[in-house]
Every structure is written in C-alpha cells, then in structure tokens.
Amino acid sequence: MVRRNVFAIVLLVGLVAAGSLTLTAAEENHEHSHDDDAIHEVKNVNVTIFNETMQEPDAFVLDVRSEEEFNKGHIEGAVRITSNELPNRDGELPKDKEAPVLVYCNSGRRSADVANTLLFMGYENVMNLEPGIKGWVKAGMPVV
C-alpha cells in the first residue's frame, strides 16, 4: 500500500515536471515566432521609392562615400558618414529606430554593407538605393 502511494507520487511528480517542460517549450516557441515578426530586412529600392521615402519628415539620408565623392555631387540634405566613422558618429543617426534611414553610395555596394550594420543597430526601416547615386543621376534626379 505504502509502495503504491510512493509510486503514485513519483508518477504525479513526473507528470507535472513533463507538463511544465512542455509548457516552457511552448512558451519558447511562442517567443521565437514573436521574434520572427520583429526581423527586419534591408529594402533594396530604386530611385522612385528612395525619392518618395526621403520626403517623409523623419527620413534620414545617409551618404557613405568619401568626402571627395560627396563634394562632386550628393543628394540634397544627405549626411556623410562612412562605414568606418559610423561607430563613433552613431549619435548623429535618428533616435527613433523606426525612422526611415536611406543609405546610398556610388553603386549600391558599400551602402548595402552599412544598411546591414544599421539593421544590426536596431533600425527597422533601412533602405538601400540599389543603383547607387550613379543610377540616381542617370534617372535625371538632382544632386547638389
């Protein structure tokens, strides 16, 4: 009789433990699926979308080229910060991680790297001008 009770208790404890493990696993899965919702990607955009988005009042346009390249012609209002400078100048980026950050370079390659860094820094709305400022100029868009 006593042994039976002990067995029943062990079984009960085991079931409860298994139940809470299952529950924990379910919670973890739930958290993961929630995280998936929050995964953001760089949007590679063309001149039209870049131009439209940069009109938004909280948009930040980032030129990642050298000073020499920048001085030859850049998009009006762009702030020039290279990928090397970014760690020390992150204070110049928008405080709001949801603000559109529009990145460009000459051909869209350097800016793609910086765009990924920005995502890693928590920016949720990062756009890369895919054809670069070359494509921008080719489309007849203004530079200053």
Binding stretches for ligand NAG (CB under 6 A): 46-49, 51-52, 55, 141
Nearest-approach distance from CB 132 to ligand NAG, in angstroms: 14
CB of 126 vs ligand NAG, minimal distance in Å = 17
Q: Taking Cα atoms as reference points, which of 101, 90, 116 lies closest to residue 60?
A: 101
3-state SS, the chain, equals: CHHHHHHHHHHHHHHHHHHHHHHHHHHHHHHHHHHHHCCCCCEEECHHHHHHHCCCCCCEEEECCCHHHHHHCCCCCCEECCCCCHHHHHHHCCCCCCCCEEEECCCCCHHHHHHHHHHHCCCCCEEEECCHHHHHHHCCCCCC
Nearest approach in angstroms of CB 120 to ligand NAG is: 25
Of 29 and 46, the one with the shorter C-beta distance to ligand NAG is 46
- Nearer to ligand NAG by Cβ, of 49 and 79: the residue is 49
Residue 135 is among the residues annotated as catalytic for this protein: no
Comparing CB distances to ligand NAG, the nearer of 54 and 81 is 54
Of these residues, 45, 103, 105, 114, which one is catalytic?
A: 105
Kindly list the catalytic residues: 105
